[in-house]
Structure 1
Amino acid sequence: MYARETLEEENVDKLVSDLKAQLPNWTWESSHGEITAISKSTELQEKIRIVSTDTNGPIHTYVMYEVRGQQWNKNTEIFLNKNLPGRLFDIFRGNATTFSCIEGEINDKIKTALPVFKTKLLKAFEAEEVEGLEEDTFISTSAVSPLFDQSLSNSHEMNMQLGLRKTDRLGAKTTLVVGTPIITIEY
């Protein structure tokens, strides 16, 4: 899960001070206009980045929060349902834009075509395809699903992306990535 927000430059020092007080067990580093904080948890990795950039004019500061895990289990579910809302409230001062991605693999012992997987996944998410790209070993689809409320923009109704990639090597598998509203990782 990934969230970000633009921050007024004058609020940076106060935000950093507040976060250091709330998260004293995190590792804090500062380098070249970027402040990074990383949790010391082993199951889920949380990271906060505060980045200031000079774009030939005013300085823009972004606050970014990311939480990653290698597996889905009961602890992950508890964190996302109980701890995440409070963490987002502590970090962000307004309405943060939130993205989430999940990546998995499908064992290809039974040779199933990618379009079949795509159709089943769209059905599982009750999604309608908006646009897509299909190749022999790769499918990327943008869709709209009633299960997600955040849309990419007011003018472009899309709140989900689906990526499928099949490898033909020994032990063939299909990699599956679902992102809402967009995929934010490489696939």
Structure 2
Amino acid sequence: MMKKIVLITLILLLAANNAVAVSVQSDPMTDLAEVIADSNLEVDQWQVTLKETIEYAHAEKILDRFRAKNSYLVSGEEDANTIKYSVRHVQKTNGISEYYNVIFPKDTTYNVQFIAVVKGDVWNKSVREKYVNRINSIKNDYFTGNPTKFACIETSFNDKMNGVYVFNNLKRTLNLKHVKKQDDTVKNSTVKKIFYGYTPLWNQKIDVGDRPLNFQMAVNKGENGNTELTIGTPILINEY
């Protein structure tokens, strides 16, 4: 399960709700996986999250479609403000898992939030092909427009490898601009640094002040002493 990133500033969390779409040029997950492979590293975990606000009627139709299929397990829970349905694809397909959340607010003046998650802990040519086919099918089958996409990938390396080389490879390949670094000053925190930047290769961005942003990388100290990288776009979200 992707680790939660706890040092995202409030302004970034607020800005994430206003992700702006630009022309589609490439897929962030496949781009990141290729950069990691080019750096002679392996993908430890990866996850893509799609989010969209939809109307009640459309949300009910989506749930009915899931309930009609034996390959999906639907469960629900309720709190003071929402009714949340969780959907799990019970058949793991070649290293790829699927999960969905349909969140109905009890205040009907608000729309429903629909979330789809595709994830795995292996990445290779076969998984890449199946991921591309599956994510496109999910978008076409369930989403009404252009959902906000959050991608996250994890990799790690030992201290003998130069972390600067890995980041420079990312910076060069992704053509990163507006790069900023935040050092963690929290005592005993495993997060050492967070990098922010912008690449014109990807189809979403958020604006922080007068600068666009769609790349965030957390550098963590692993339990075994390795350095762990968690990279996300447009930002790392707590659901990873």
TM-score range normalised by the length of the shorter chain: 0.7 to 0.9
Letter in 1 for 2:215: M
> Identity over aligned residues, as a percent?
22
In the TM superposition, what is the alpha-carbon distance from 1:163 to its structure 2 partner? Answer: 1.5
Tell me whether 1:181 sits opposite 2:228 in the alignment. no
In the TM superposition, what is the alpha-carbon distance from 1:84 to its structure 2 partner? Answer: 1.5
In the TM superposition, what is the alpha-carbon distance from 1:160 to its structure 2 partner? Answer: 1.1
Find the aligned partners of 2:103 and 2:150 in 1 and give their Cα distance: 18
More divergent stretch after superposition (172-181 vs 130-139): 130-139
Partner-residue secondary structure (3-state), 2:204: coil
Give RMSD over aligned pairs.
Answer: 2.6
Which of residues 84, 87, 91 is equivalent to 1:37?
A: 87
Find the aligned partners of 2:238 and 2:122 in 1 and give their Cα distance: 16
Pairs within 5 Å for 1:32-111: 32=78, 33-42=83-92, 43-54=95-106, 58-110=109-161
Find the aligned partners of 2:155 and 2:142 in 1 and give their Cα distance: 29
Partner-residue secondary structure (3-state), 1:16: helix
Letter in 1 for 2:124: N
Letter in 2 for 1:160: F
- The answer to whether the 8 Å contact 1:4/1:97 transfers is yes
- The answer to whether the 8 Å contact 1:129/1:141 transfers is no
Find the aligned partners of 1:134 and 1:123 in 2 and give their Cα distance: 22
Find the aligned partners of 1:63 and 1:99 in 2 and give their Cα distance: 14
In the TM superposition, what is the alpha-carbon distance from 1:119 to its structure 2 partner? Answer: 3.4
Q: What residue is the counterpart of 2:168 in the other structure? A: 119
In the TM superposition, what is the alpha-carbon distance from 1:135 to its structure 2 partner? Answer: 4.5
Runs of 4+ aligned residues of structure 1 deviating over 6 Å after TM superposition are none
Find the aligned partners of 2:116 and 2:197 in 1 and give their Cα distance: 25
In the TM superposition, what is the alpha-carbon distance from 1:174 to its structure 2 partner? Answer: 0.6
| C-alpha spacing 1:2/1:90, structure 2 compared with 1 (3 Å) | same
Q: What residue is the counterpart of 1:164 in the other structure? A: 219
Which of residues 179, 182, 187 is equivalent to 1:133?
A: 182
- The answer to whether the 8 Å contact 1:145/1:159 transfers is yes
User: Which protein has greater RCO, CA pairs closer than 8 Å, 6+ apart?
Assistant: 2
| C-alpha spacing 1:147/1:181, structure 2 compared with 1 (3 Å) | same
Find the aligned partners of 2:109 and 2:212 in 1 and give their Cα distance: 32
Find the aligned partners of 2:232 and 2:137 in 1 and give their Cα distance: 22
In the TM superposition, what is the alpha-carbon distance from 1:60 to its structure 2 partner? Answer: 3.4
Find the aligned partners of 1:131 and 1:66 in 2 and give their Cα distance: 29
Q: What residue is the counterpart of 1:17 in the other structure? A: 64
Unaligned runs of 5+ in 2: 1-47, 186-190
Unaligned runs of 5+ in 1: none
- The answer to whether the 8 Å contact 2:178/2:211 transfers is no
| Structure with greater Cα Rg | 1
Find the aligned partners of 1:44 and 1:17 in 2 and give their Cα distance: 23
